[in-house]
A and B are shown apart, each in its own frame.
Chain A
Amino acid sequence: MMQTLKWKRSNKPLLSSKDKAHGPPSPTLMPSNSSSSSSTSPLHQPVSLSTLSQTTPALAIPEIMLAIAAFLNRQSLTHCALVCKDWNAIFQPLLFRVILAADFDRPDFVHAFQNHTRFATSIEWIQESPTYPPPVPKKSAWHRFFRRRTLSSSSSSSLRPIATMSRKPFEQLEHSLLAGQTPSLETLSVRVQNQDPNLILRLAASTVTTLQISTRGYPARKPRLYMEDILHSYPNLVHLTLEGLFTLGSHLLEERGFDAAQHPYFPAPLPAPPPGPILATAAVTTTTGLTISSPFPSPSPTPQASSSSSTTHTSVVGVKGKAVDRPSSIESLSLRLVDISQDGLLALSALLPQLKSLLIEEFLVPDMMIKTYRWTWSPTFVRSLRTAFPHLQSLRFAFPFENIKEDTIVEILKSFPLLTTVGFRNAHFGERAMETLQEHCKFVECLDVSFGYGDYRFKAALLLFLQTWPRLRELEADGVIFHLDTPIDAGVMRTPWACTKLEKLLCGFYGTESMIFQHLSQFPMLSHLTIAHPSLTISSIDTTLAWMARSTKMEYFWFTQQRNQVLERDTIQWFLKHWPNLKKLHVAGGVNEQKEVVRQWCRDAQRLSVVVETDRY
Chain B
Amino acid sequence: MPVILVSSDSQEFKVDKEVAERSILIKNMLEDVGESDSPIPLPNVTATVLTKVIEYCEHHRNDPVQVPDETDDPRKRSNDIEEWDMKFMQVDQEMLFEIILAANYLDIKPLLDVGCKTVANIIKGKTPEEIRKAFNIVNDFTPEEEAQIKKENEWAEDR
Interface residues of A (CB under 8 A from B): 2-3, 5, 7, 23-27, 29, 31-35, 40, 50-52, 55-59, 61, 63-64, 67-68, 70-85, 87-88, 92, 94-95, 97-98, 103, 106, 108-109, 111-112, 115, 135, 143, 158-160, 573, 596, 600, 603-606
Residues in B whose Cβ lies below 8 Å from that of A88? 149
Contact of A23 among B72, B101, B153 (CB under 8 A): B101
24 inter-chain pairs at a CB distance below 8 angstroms, sorted by A residue, are: A2-B152, A5-B149, A24-B44, A24-B105, A27-B107, A29-B109, A31-B113, A32-B73, A50-B140, A64-B104, A70-B75, A71-B75, A73-B124, A76-B124, A78-B153, A80-B131, A83-B132, A83-B135, A84-B137, A87-B137, A106-B155, A108-B154, A135-B71, A160-B73
- Contact between chains at A72 and B120 (CB < 8 Å): yes
Residues in A whose Cβ lies below 8 Å from that of B67? 596, 600
- Contact between chains at A5 and B104 (CB < 8 Å): no
Tell me which residues from 107 to 141 in chain B have a Cβ below 8 Å from any Cβ of chain A: 107, 109, 112-113, 116-117, 119-120, 123-128, 131-132, 135-141
Tell me which residues from 65 to 98 in chain B have a Cβ below 8 Å from any Cβ of chain A: 65, 67-78, 93-94, 97-98
- Contact between chains at A64 and B100 (CB < 8 Å): yes
Check B150 for interface membership: any CB of A closer than 8 A: yes
| Other A-B pairs beyond A34-B68, A67-B113, 17, CB < 8 Å | A3-B148, A23-B101, A32-B73, A40-B72, A58-B98, A67-B112, A68-B116, A71-B76, A79-B126, A80-B131, A82-B146, A83-B139, A84-B137, A135-B71, A159-B72, A160-B71, A600-B67
Contact of A81 among B73, B97, B107, B149 (CB under 8 A): B149
Closest CB pairs A-B (n = 8): A109-B155, A71-B120, A82-B128, A58-B97, A71-B78, A24-B44, A106-B155, A74-B159
Contact of B100 among A58, A77, A158 (CB under 8 A): A58
Binds A, one of B21-29, B33-41, B55-63: B21-29
Contact of B77 among A71, A81, A143 (CB under 8 A): A71
- Contact between chains at A59 and B97 (CB < 8 Å): yes
Check B156 for interface membership: any CB of A closer than 8 A: yes
- Contact between chains at A604 and B131 (CB < 8 Å): no
**What is the minimal beta-carbon distance from B96 to any residue of chain A, in angstroms?**
8
- Contact between chains at B155 and A103 (CB < 8 Å): yes
- Contact between chains at B156 and A74 (CB < 8 Å): yes
In the complex formed, the residue of A with least CB distance to B100 is A58
| Complex-state Cα separation, A605 to B65, whole angstroms | 14
Interface residues of B (CB under 8 A from A): 24-25, 27-28, 31, 44, 65, 67-78, 93-94, 97-98, 100-101, 104-105, 107, 109, 112-113, 116-117, 119-120, 123-128, 131-132, 135-141, 145-146, 148-159
Residues in A whose Cβ lies below 8 Å from that of B137? 52, 55-56, 59, 83-84, 87
Contact of B112 among A29, A74, A85 (CB under 8 A): A29
Residues in A whose Cβ lies below 8 Å from that of B100? 58, 64
| Complex-state Cα separation, A603 to B70, whole angstroms | 14
Interface contact tally, CB-CB below 8 A = 179
Grouping DSSP codes into helix (H, G, I), strand (E, B) and loop, the B interface class, with mixed when no group exceeds half, is helix
Contact of A108 among B120, B124, B138, B152 (CB under 8 A): B152
Residues in A whose Cβ lies below 8 Å from that of B44? 24
| Complex-state Cα separation, A77 to B138, whole angstroms | 18
- Contact between chains at B76 and A31 (CB < 8 Å): yes
- Contact between chains at B72 and A71 (CB < 8 Å): no
Residues in B whose Cβ lies below 8 Å from that of A51? 138
- Contact between chains at A82 and B150 (CB < 8 Å): yes
In the complex formed, the residue of B with least CB distance to A94 is B74
- Contact between chains at A26 and B107 (CB < 8 Å): yes
- Contact between chains at A75 and B156 (CB < 8 Å): yes
Residues in A whose Cβ lies below 8 Å from that of B119? 68
Looking at A58, A108, A160, which has the most chain B CB atoms within 10 Å of its CB?
A58
- Contact between chains at B138 and A82 (CB < 8 Å): no
| Complex-state Cα separation, A603 to B67, whole angstroms | 9
**What is the minimal beta-carbon distance from B50 to any residue of chain A, in angstroms?**
13
In the complex formed, the residue of A with least CB distance to B79 is A71
| Complex-state Cα separation, A75 to B44, whole angstroms | 35
**What is the minimal beta-carbon distance from B28 to any residue of chain A, in angstroms?**
6
- Contact between chains at B155 and A73 (CB < 8 Å): no
| Complex-state Cα separation, A603 to B66, whole angstroms | 11
Residues in B whose Cβ lies below 8 Å from that of A80? 123, 128, 131
| Complex-state Cα separation, A295 to B47, whole angstroms | 53
| Complex-state Cα separation, A71 to B77, whole angstroms | 6
- Contact between chains at A57 and B101 (CB < 8 Å): yes
Question: Known contacts A56-B97, A83-B137: does B112 contact A76 (CB below 8 Å)?
Answer: no
Residues in A whose Cβ lies below 8 Å from that of B71? 135, 160
- Contact between chains at A112 and B153 (CB < 8 Å): yes
- Contact between chains at A83 and B128 (CB < 8 Å): yes
Contact of B159 among A56, A73, A85, A159 (CB under 8 A): A73
Residues in B whose Cβ lies below 8 Å from that of A603? 24, 68
| Complex-state Cα separation, A85 to B154, whole angstroms | 18
| Complex-state Cα separation, A103 to B159, whole angstroms | 11
Residues in B whose Cβ lies below 8 Å from that of A7? 145
- Contact between chains at B116 and A70 (CB < 8 Å): yes
Residues in A whose Cβ lies below 8 Å from that of B28? 604-606
**What is the minimal beta-carbon distance from A511 to any residue of chain B, in angstroms?**
33
